[in-house]
């Protein structure tokens, strides 16, 4: 966020002066360095470098003079952009809500800088080894000329040291094993060599994609998905109790204890829900 805001501020000064840095210009005004300002946000304190002009006329609509708190306007711009609104509509909406006059160029600068940082994040190098990689897709509205829901395939990795973070993502109209395979291949080009365990849902073809790209990795079905599948196959009145019983199975500290809990689970629910019992066995 700090890098993005600083890049936007530099871009805003360029638009204000109407010439790029190091370009020749007949403009009597010019760049005059920076001054530092701490800026309090819900993400923490940002260390901003506010650009100056010789005549002291530049005032960023993104970070107005003397203001040291809040990025609500910027967040609103990004949210409106994600919802599919045009830059002109965003300008009108922001002015009506906050009373701030944003130019279409400023809105464009904000969205371009955010996209640039997202691309840099997606292409960053990865660790060679990961303990666990979780894969799943979530469906969100996406703008491609018009707005429609699409599947964002997201992989989260845990390093050998225990640090968790998003490895990358890929967008497609629906979740597919082909998209996952392409994402796994991308991870290899970014430096990933070994994964001890993949945790994934039961999407057809995903396990084959994992075995082809990371053949030494073990694969575990995500227990959240297993629990959802169980709940979907039982009566409403039984859902809470059967979910709690299944949670006792996978929360056991040893394999022996888990096997005993599973036997109890099947003994309790097997006659009433035979398909559930067989799938867990």
Average pLDDT over residues 109-134: 88
Beta bridge partners of 148: 142
% of the chain at pLDDT higher than 70: 89
What pLDDT is recorded for position 105? 75
What pLDDT is recorded for position 104? 73
pLDDT band at 60 (very low <50, low <70, confident <90, very high): confident
What pLDDT is recorded for position 8? 80
As given in the structure block, the two tokens for residue 138 are 């979530």
User: How far, in Å, CA of 205 to CA of 187, rounded?
Assistant: 18
pLDDT band at 97 (very low <50, low <70, confident <90, very high): low
As given in the structure block, the two tokens for residue 127 are 């660790």
pLDDT band at 3 (very low <50, low <70, confident <90, very high): confident
**pLDDT of 131 strictly over 70:** yes
Beta strands in 176-238 (DSSP E): 194-200, 218-221
pLDDT band at 255 (very low <50, low <70, confident <90, very high): very high
| pLDDT tens column, 139-193 | 998 888 888 999 999 999 999 999 999 999 999 999 999 999 999 999 999 999 9
Tell me which H or E stretch contains 167: strand 164-172
User: How far, in Å, CA of 25 to CA of 18, rounded?
Assistant: 9
**pLDDT of 71 strictly over 70:** no
Closest by CA position to 165, among listed 201, 121, 198, 209: 121
What pLDDT is recorded for position 85? 72
How wide is the angle at C-alpha 185 spanned by C-alphas 181 and 188, nearest 5°? 145
159, 126 Cβ separation under 8 angstroms? no
Average pLDDT over residues 186-203: 96
SS3 28: coil
């Amino acid at each position: 966020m700090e890098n993005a805001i600083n890049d936007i501020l530099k871009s805003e000064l360029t638009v204000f002066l109407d010439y790029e840095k190091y370009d020749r210009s007949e403009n009597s005004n010019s760049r005059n360095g920076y001054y530092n300002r701490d800026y309090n946000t819900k993400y923490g304190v940002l260390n901003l470098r506010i650009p100056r002009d010789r005549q002291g006329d530049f005032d960023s609509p993104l970070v107005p003079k003397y203001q040291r708190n809040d990025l609500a306007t910027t967040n609103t711009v990004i949210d409106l952009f994600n919802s599919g609104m045009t830059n002109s509509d965003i300008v009108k909406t922001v002015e009506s809500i906050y009373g701030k006059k944003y130019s279409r160029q400023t809105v464009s600068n904000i969205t371009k800088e955010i996209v640039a940082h997202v691309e840099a994040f997606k292409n960053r190098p990865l660790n060679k080894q990961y303990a666990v990689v979780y894969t799943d897709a979530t469906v969100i509205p996406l703008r491609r000329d018009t707005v429609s829901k699409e599947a964002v395939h997201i992989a989260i990795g845990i390093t050998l040291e225990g640090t968790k973070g998003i490895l990358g993502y890929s967008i497609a109209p629906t979740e597919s094993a082909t998209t996952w395979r392409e994402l796994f291949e991308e991870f290899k080009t970014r430096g990933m060599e070994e994964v001890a365990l993949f945790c994934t849902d039961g999407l057809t073809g995903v396990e084959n994609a994992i075995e082809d790209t990371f053949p030494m990795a073990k694969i575990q079905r995500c227990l959240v998905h297993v629990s959802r599948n169980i709940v979907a196959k039982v009566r409403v009145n039984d859902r809470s109790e059967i979910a709690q019983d299944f949670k006792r199975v996978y929360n056991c500290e040893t394999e022996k204890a888990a096997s005993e809990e599973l036997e109890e689970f099947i003994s309790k629910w097997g006659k009433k829900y035979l398909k559930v019992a067989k799938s867990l066995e």
